[in-house]
Structure 1
């Protein structure tokens, strides 16, 4: 006798399958991008100095590997235990938050350096950054523990999802959008103030990078908010990690590009010996601020 399933069961099953396809595609895209830039990446890892910025790079670059491993395991391993799904989801959330925090840290440092290491700007940036981060962590882990996971009733379909339409799930993306709007506002204000005296190639590249990064971040945040409000089943969360991965790829590739640009300007032999203040003269109006910005964006400082 055939077993009949409701339309809701079929929709939930399709959402799980599509979610699995999306994560598989993202993992493939990330692996392909890593392989294509393998030579440049290992050149950077072997020749550049170990700094805080380089540590951020390593974390932002390689955390997605663990994120994909955890998610693919959760999506493709048959399991009907909601508690195990909750544990795996918490692990994935930890990797996601760590990735996006490191990615955003690059642009917090860039903005701080663009403002001549202004302590007021730093205090404002850290306050907004920490407020968004702490609130997001509390919402991610607080709400996920109160909403039970569900699995597909159709045999042979693996994966689990949270069916709740709780408003709290998209609040972190609103906070992230607000943070990025603040960063782009500070960047544009500084650009207008120093454009005539800091119209250098590095300044132009930084401005283009920052605006492109913020535009992608805002677009992905809007998509996640709309998906959380309008979609159901696993569709609601399938673009969340997509945003984190895109931001990590953009932040690390932009940083890698700037480092190689600086290496080309100074020469590979002098890479670890010559400070970066020369290429940043005029970027923010003073040589000391320029040196600080170069250290922030390339990780070559002491």
Structure 2
């Protein structure tokens, strides 16, 4: 009986705390201050670009123009447009309703493009160390189809339940959303599942190859990148799920923007780092990204020749 009373008290306390928290963060003064967070996010992205511009120029001029490089450029430069749209949405003093609707739509589409491009780069890494296996490709296509079906349904429901307004509070203009359903958090759960699948495929093949080719240092770097990216993705998605479940829509928007920007920064930094490591330290007898020019038979292909497709021709001609 005492246990039941304690549990009931704890539940009521948690519900009361969450309700109070939601009221506090919905305060218009607090919502206005989120503009500072968006400005800081844009500033950090610009700062990261400036301090890595020398690496950027070396990579763009020195690497081969293939599919993965185009995906890299999407992750590198589309965030500028994405953050510009966010800045316009949050800093505009007297936005019209149509302007708010357009900016929110652009945010959604650009964010999807960035995330899909980032995930595609990491799938390309996995695909090439599996010697461009059609079985792995079709497994991934089927799983993505199964994941996209509920995601599309959830997003349709989300859009139907969300109302975009051009006021933050009474007498306070600004773009905001109301009526957002928490069902959208399942989209991020499904994203974690997709990232976990890519990570498991990478680890399985990497372990098998490492047993045969223990000098594959670039392979070790690639696996470290994938694990770190997965952990960051899970962490940011977890924070976003909590934000959607507890906080008002304006706060989940902020966390989502941070997640997308961090994903883009991580994947571009890791891609350049792997390319540079290969150029500086890879040897002819180890895992490499650039020495593959004439495809060798799959049976005799080493890790080195297989993963060269990552930067050269990951999906074939």
- TM-score norm. by structure 2 comes to 0.79
Taking structure 1 as reference, are residues 139 and 42 closer, same or farther at Cα in structure 2, changes over 3 Å only? farther
Range with bigger deviation, 130-139 or 34-43: 130-139
Could you say which residue in structure 1 is the equivalent of 2:238?
222
> Contact 1:114–1:190 at 8 Å: present in 2 too?
yes
Q: 1:53 aligns with which of 68, 71, 77?
A: 68
Displacement of 1:129? 3.3
Indicate conservation of the 8 Å contact 1:197/1:285, yes or no: no
Q: Partners in 2 of 1:18 and 1:198 — Cα distance? A: 54
What is the aligned partner in structure 2 of residue 4 from structure 1? none
Higher relative contact order (CA 8 A, sep 6+): 1
Structure 1 alignment gaps of length 5 or more: 1-6, 268-273
1:197 matched residue in structure 2: 212
Instruction: Give the counterpart of 2:308 among 277, 294, 300.
Output: 294
What does 1:1-302 correspond to in 2, within 5 Å?
11-79=26-94, 81-133=96-148, 136=151, 139-140=154-155, 143-150=158-165, 151-153=167-169, 155=171, 158-199=173-214, 200-265=216-281, 275-277=290-292, 287=301, 290-296=304-310, 298-299=311-312
Q: Gapped runs of 5+ residues in structure 2?
A: 1-21, 284-288
Cα distance change, pair 250–134 in 1 and its aligned pair in 2 (3 A): farther
Total equivalences in the alignment? 284
Instruction: Work out whether residues 123 and 198 of structure 2, in 8 Å CA contact, stay in contact via their aligned partners in 1.
Output: yes
Quote the offset at 1:288 in angstroms. Answer: 5.8
Normalised TM-score (structure 1)? 0.83
Q: CA RMSD in A?
A: 2.9
Distance 1:129 1:245, change over 3 A: farther
Where 2:163 maps in the other structure, the secondary structure is coil
Pick the structure with greater CA Rg: 2
| Structure 1 residues 82 and 10: alpha-carbon distance in aligned structure 2, compared to 1, 3 A threshold | farther
**CA distance in 1 between partners of 2:24 and 2:97 (Å):** 17
